[in-house]
Structure 1
Amino acid sequence: MRSRRWLAIVLGMAAVFAMQAATGSVDGRQADAASDGNAEAFAAIMQRHGIPGAQLVHVRDGHAEAFEYGVMRANATRPVAADTLFQAASLSKVVGAYITLRMVDRGVLELDRPLFEYWPSPRARDNPQARRITARMVLDHTTGLKNWEISPSNPAIDETPLQSLFDAGARYSYSGEGFYLLQRTLEHLTGKRWEQLAREEVFDVFDMPGSRYMTDPESATRNASGHRPDGSVMADRVFGWENTAWTLVTTAREYSTFLQRALYRGEGLTPASHALLKTPSSNADDHAVPVPVDPYIDWSLGVGLETVDGRVRLWHWGDNPGFKAFFMLDPESGESLVLLTNSENGLETHKDVLRLFLGEGEYPAVDWARSQS
């Protein structure tokens, strides 16, 4: 028992990395001490909640610290490394929102013109409300569509008619279907598969070589495995086609670069489009799942907004079977945190991790995300 406990500590600590960003500097001895303390505390959080493996990147004042913890698969000994790929789940949607705003800036589509006018999806043909859905409604989750009609991994999804829960644009209800409809529309308008669009608009631009929406056999050995709450390993998943709502695999380092350059600095966007990522567009009050923290949460065009004591932070969570992901970004200071875990227990770590790196607080975004999971 002692040797296994010692191995867990070694794996949690030995794979900790700190990286210095292009701007900003800190005293080396102070930075090392702070990094070591954070690494030990981070490892303790992961162990307490039974997380097999995780990656985290924290950026503050232009300085970035990256931490890799644990193992890729519980019944193996291969440690999580900087290039280990995790399922980012719904963090995929934020990349999709950025690409959409890029297309808006280029005049490829308008935010308030019905998507059906650009591409008459057979799934929306017999639903008048679905034919009214616009890109804005997709990005702020007011389409009126279900989250999913059927499992998004089922090939029959492209032939399954869309059902509306309420009138398009009437109110908030989280929907992956909306993002998938938007993806198919953009693919039609550009003549490109989503993987190619993501590569050209995001991955190649922001130095994200490992990120992708489809499973790549050549990098499969770098994929972390998902785990159930009891720590048992889940079957590895193969993404045979892209879905901008949930199939992104990436690393915490690569996704942190995307946050810093695309969401914080607004690279590649007009100032007006960049502002839309930080401006409330819907109140995120889901009538089907009311929660006490609703007053603190809004949705911009693609990103959750948490407002506490007048301070606004951007955030999103990811929830795939066996994987949980989360990010938070202060749009004023640029401080950000990305956490990827290969466990169903990942959401239980989020408040502890946020308090460790961003400071004490309640973080209602985590409570809101828990209500939706």
Structure 2
Amino acid sequence: MAKIVYLGCEPLYKKDGFSERVRGICSGLGRMHNLELHVLGSLKIKQGSSNFKDFYEYRYKTLGRICAYYASGFFERSGISSLVRGLDMRMARNAWRALLKADVVIFEDLSFSRPLTKLKKRLEREGKKLVLICNLHNVYKEESKVEMYAARNSDLILVCSEEERNLLLRKYSGIGIDEKKVIIVENGMTPAQVSTREKIKKRSFFIGSAYGPNVEAVRFIIKLSDYLEDWEHVIVGGVCELIDEREKEEKSKKIKFLGKLERSEIEKVIEDCGIALCPLFEGSGTSLKMVDYLTHALPTISTRLGARGLGLTPGVHYLEAERLEEFAQAIKKLERDEELYKRLSHEGKAFVDGKFDWVILVDKIDKRIVDLVGKK
């Protein structure tokens, strides 16, 4: 059993796609190893700790998260973000003590890469091995000094899709990154215990955090509502906070903005919806909301970008659309074709449950940890 420290930057209570990926990895590895999550977050987080079933989370207020937002800009070019992150690690004393005893450190904030590499070299001089794993939520489209440093010095790199793996290897081919150390660990989930859908309900579902591409998606749904007179659309998540109150009021009869909800409340809302929408037009990585929709057996209409990197087949696992008219036509098609509706519900759920279950995904990481550390 290895001692693993996950060095995070966002608390799990935020319950967005970013934190759900961290929770999935920590829960899976925590069942097999001694794992602690240490969150060196912003000054706004709730400092303290939480006891999850398979691991503990410890939260610290730090200054370095401010620099991390600009990791590929001035702060990183000048070395300030890495310097501050190194100080953060030492100031969070419980985290520092855990790092000194760890066999494996998983990190996501690229500004941690330099101070962790220095720590690794120090421990090697003392005869102790430390394995560094970089969990890349998103691979930058352009070359980045901080990303390149992390890619070169990490023992293992986790990416979300084949596309992002290829992009990373292509960008930094000049520094000779070993392809074997870049592994695909998709955004996963715990399969929903629901049956496939039989009959459509005229209510669509969209969930999103307070993030630019999600705002664009909601504005798209607002326009789409004019094409569908007898449909209601439900929007959940932090994205609701970024929509103008006057706009919400004008569309209140057709669109329900529910804001942030507890997971149990989200489950009830999903159960009462007939389809899901994923009109994303920009962004990187893979969309966890697509996996969430499909495991709940919701027939889904998505742009090509919204379904990127998941291995989904249009017409089999979801319906693909790009323009407003195409989304409206796809919805009306599902209304008319009951067999298509039932087939998408079944095929979509069967595919994601068999591929994106965290139990399956974390097993990939565990095997590599055992190889690198030599501890089961």
Tell me if TM exceeds 0.5: no
TM-score scaled by structure 1? 0.29
TM-score scaled by structure 2? 0.29
Structure number, greater radius of gyration: 2
Higher helix share: 2
